[in-house]
Amino acid sequence: MANINIPEIFGCRVFNDATMKERLPKGTYKDLKKTIEEGKALDIAIANVVAHSMKEWAIENGATHFTHWFQPMTGITAEKHDSFISPTPDGKVIMEFSGKELIKGEPDASSFPSGGIRATFEARGYTAWDPSSYAFIKDGSLCIPTAFCSYTGEILDKKTPLLRSMEVVNVQALRILRIFGDTTTKRVETTVGPEQEYFLVDKEVFNKRKDLIYCGRTLFGARPPKGQELDDHYFGTIKPRVSAYMKELDEELWKYGILAKTKHNEVAPAQHELAPIFDTSNIATDHNQLTMAVMKRVAERHGLVCLLHEKPFAGVNGSGKHNNWSMSTNKGKNLLDPSKNPRENTQFLVFLAAVIKAVDEHQDLLRLSVASAGNDHRLGANEAPPAILSMYLGDELTAVLHSIETDQVYENKQDSIMQTNANVLPNFVKDTSDRNRTSPFAFTGNKFEFRMLGSAENIACTNTIINTIVADVLQEFADILEKAEDVKAAAEALVKKTLAEHKRIIFNGDNYSDEWVAEAERRGLLNLRSLPEVMPMYVSPKNVALFGKHGIYTEVELRSRCEILLEKYSKIINIEALTALDMAKKDIVPAVAAYIRDLAETANLIKSVDAEIVTVPETELMKKLANLLSCFLRKIDLLDKAVMGAKEVDGVADKAMYYKEKVLAAMQELRAVADEMESNMSAKLWPYPSYGTMLFSV
């Protein structure tokens, strides 16, 4: 294979800073940069020049169309492509793209989920360019990352609140920096590095499974003889076919200017992970959306299907997305860097305390930000963090905070040297924070890693919430500290008070243990296992006030979001139930019946040869399967009734709860019988590829 020149291809499909600098008139470039840096709206005169230059570049790179690329509440990205063509009087066309088309689009909003907003307002929607996220070329279209709102200004997407929340962090974090004497920092950005997990299955195998096609997850499937119990997949050697996929994926992502960095096999068979280098939250979000789309596309070219669902297979790990989060100044200083001596780094301690308080006070929001029908299968199972939120700080910070709480002197920990005791290996300095893989919200050196996110979800919602809750506490802290005469003393007192009030959220032990569930309950921490339980909390008075105060969501917007998410949950379970019924009635029942007939015929044959034979083994198996099949038919009936019953339930919240308690439960019962039959069936007659085939055939 030919060598590729990575620096050369990196960002070749992106109208990035270097390209802008090269192609835009100096003045326009400067104006645009200023607009981006100050987070201002773009002037139409500048936009016209930028649009022209963008179009020329796009055409040179094979584009014929442009599209505003946005993130509606569907969870995936949306695009509507317009060609650059414009007719001329002589019957020909010229290629045109105006500043107006660049900065504003008017897609019809009526077919996107709006949670009732549309009913009360006009159907028109607007998209507006987010100039801090570069335009890029995908499939011959110039894609312009945009925000999406309704005619009257209600937001209809996931990007706008994220941008708003970043601004709120900027304002409040700057206040803290000023209090500590920093007069030069201009902006504080939140940064995110999302680690993305996924499964790869063979395309031909995938095509034989209706459940994977319609639902992205298996609804049936007996456990294979081998799963992940040997821990031999995690970080294991990557198979050639997967390796070829990952190689092309990296190259594609690099062309989009995405900093794909780490790739490895994950715990479950056929499961893998990709992590980029972190970026500012909005760009990390755009890039993660693009990454997921590219992952799926590249897979097709390798005869594979990339599954992003949180729980494609029962019995092995599901997929998550670790959201590494921090705050950084425009000068690149990480505000969550504890430095060599965190005990004396009061500014760091204030930021740390703010995150602790925010997480404790808003467990509900963090939990609901990761709730989805898919992720419900993961949280609370023995693989991902549990549904209970808690924070891990590591030994050093825990000791530092303890010394503050108890007014004790803190002995600054020296770098501890790891003795490898093998001459050929170098000794190395140990990190001061160890890892706790079971913690949902862990401090990992100079950032927090929120691990409850599902693999398929857009990270915008979670980051909007992290930003807002942290900004809210920073504001409260800034209000107090700005009035203090002795800032250091006041800040220490504030940290101490915060710890006393919120240390229940800190837990350094094993989050998977039963003892923790009991302990968490004693501490009064929330344990919300499913979306229908947690989602209605979105619109609690506390949350309406919080989002309103910071201008992130109005109450109308919040209610619409809550409704959309509850509705989506019900729709997903409904699709799953209908798929399960379809598979059960059309494929599984006939297959088992056919096998029973085979067995009966064989039994009769044996008896016809020797009428003396009393016990024919085929008869035993036939009876067993016939019993299972009758039971299966009853379960089909129950699921059918459960699905019908949903029509009688009013209200989105009650409906979602019904789907969870009645429909999902009936699906699980149906599955149990199917899996039992599969285990006792001829593999040849079973209508679907087995778990073994799906998990081990790539």
Which is nearest to 636 in space by CA: 583, 574, 688, 690?
583
What's the CA gap between 161 and 132, in Å, rounded? 15
252 binds, among ligand ADP, Mg ion, none (CB under 5 to 8 A by kind): none
Question: Which window, 14-22, 248-256, 269-277, 379-387, contacts ligand ADP (CB under 6 A)?
Answer: 269-277
What's the CA gap between 269 and 264, in Å, rounded? 12
- The partner residues of 68 in beta bridges, in order of sequence, read 80, 144
For the chain, the farthest-separated pair of C-alpha atoms sits apart, in whole angstroms, at: 103
CB of 64 to ligand ADP, least distance (A): 35
Number of residues that bind Mg ion (CB under 5 A): 1
Question: Which window, 158-166, 293-301, 317-325, 672-680, contacts ligand ADP (CB under 6 A)?
Answer: 317-325
Query: Interface with ligand ADP includes 326 (CB under 6 A)?
Result: yes
For tokens 């290629």, the residue is 95
Contact present, 378 and 447 (Cβ < 8 Å)? no
Between residues 115 and 276, which has the closer beta carbon with respect to ligand ADP?
A: 276
What's the CA gap between 10 and 494, in Å, rounded? 46
**How far, CA to CA in Å, does 426 sit from each of 419, 429, 435, 557?**
8, 10, 22, 56
Query: Interface with Mg ion includes 31 (CB under 5 A)?
Result: no
Cβ-proximal residue to Mg ion, closest one:
195
Between residues 28 and 191, which has the closer beta carbon with respect to ligand ADP?
A: 191
Binding mask 142-181 vs Mg ion (x if CB under 5 A, - otherwise)?
----------------------------------------
Query: Interface with ligand ADP includes 16 (CB under 6 A)?
Result: no
- Over its C-alpha atoms, the chain yields an Rg (Å, rounded) of 28
440 binds, among Mg ion, ligand ADP, none (CB under 5 to 8 A by kind): none
Query: Interface with ligand ADP includes 262 (CB under 6 A)?
Result: yes
191 binds, among Mg ion, ligand ADP, none (CB under 5 to 8 A by kind): ligand ADP
CA angle 114, 120, 124 (to 5 degrees): 60
326 binds, among Mg ion, ligand ADP, none (CB under 5 to 8 A by kind): ligand ADP
Contact present, 557 and 154 (Cβ < 8 Å)? yes
CB of 193 to ligand ADP, least distance (A): 3
Candidates 54, 137, 168, 275; binder of ligand ADP (CB under 6 A) is: 275
Candidates 16, 83, 132, 334; binder of ligand ADP (CB under 6 A) is: 334
**How far, CA to CA in Å, does 158 sit from each of 93, 114, 149, 278?**
37, 12, 10, 19
Phi/psi at 232 (5° precision): -100, 0
Between residues 398 and 446, which has the closer beta carbon with respect to ligand ADP?
A: 446
Question: Which window, 118-126, 186-194, 452-460, 590-598, contacts ligand ADP (CB under 6 A)?
Answer: 186-194
Between residues 166 and 583, which has the closer beta carbon with respect to ligand ADP?
A: 166
Which is nearest to 390 in space by CA: 341, 451, 340?
451
Query: Interface with Mg ion includes 364 (CB under 5 A)?
Result: no
What's the CA gap between 323 and 326, in Å, rounded? 10
Candidates 324, 369, 498, 619; binder of ligand ADP (CB under 6 A) is: 324
CB of 435 to ligand ADP, least distance (A): 7
Query: Interface with Mg ion includes 376 (CB under 5 A)?
Result: no
Query: Interface with ligand ADP includes 191 (CB under 6 A)?
Result: yes
**How far, CA to CA in Å, does 12 sit from each of 18, 65, 143, 253?**
10, 18, 14, 10
What's the CA gap between 455 and 216, in Å, rounded? 12
Say which amino acid occupies 426.
Answer: P
Query: Interface with Mg ion includes 197 (CB under 5 A)?
Result: no
Burial of 331 (0-12, 13-18, 19+ CB in 10 A): exposed
Candidates 29, 69, 278, 313; binder of ligand ADP (CB under 6 A) is: 278
Query: Interface with ligand ADP includes 394 (CB under 6 A)?
Result: no
Query: Interface with ligand ADP includes 276 (CB under 6 A)?
Result: yes
Candidates 195, 310, 376, 396; binder of Mg ion (CB under 5 A) is: 195
Between residues 72 and 320, which has the closer beta carbon with respect to ligand ADP?
A: 320
Query: Interface with Mg ion includes 449 (CB under 5 A)?
Result: no
Query: Interface with ligand ADP includes 338 (CB under 6 A)?
Result: no
> Which residues does 75 contact at the CB level (< 8 Å), separation at least 6?
158, 456, 457, 458, 568
446 binds, among Mg ion, ligand ADP, none (CB under 5 to 8 A by kind): ligand ADP
Which is nearest to 228 in space by CA: 197, 273, 269?
269
Cβ-proximal residue to ligand ADP, closest one:
193
DSSP letter for each residue of 467-490: HHHHHHHHHHHHHHHTT-SSHHHH
Question: Which window, 190-198, 210-218, 231-239, 491-499, contacts ligand ADP (CB under 6 A)?
Answer: 190-198
What's the CA gap between 655 and 522, in Å, rounded? 31
Number of residues that bind ligand ADP (CB under 6 A): 17
Between residues 274 and 401, which has the closer beta carbon with respect to ligand ADP?
A: 274
Phi/psi at 678 (5° precision): -60, -40
Residues that bind Mg ion in the complex, under the rule CB under 5 A: 195
Residues that bind ligand ADP in the complex, under the rule CB under 6 A: 191-193, 195, 262, 275-278, 322, 324-326, 334, 446-447, 449
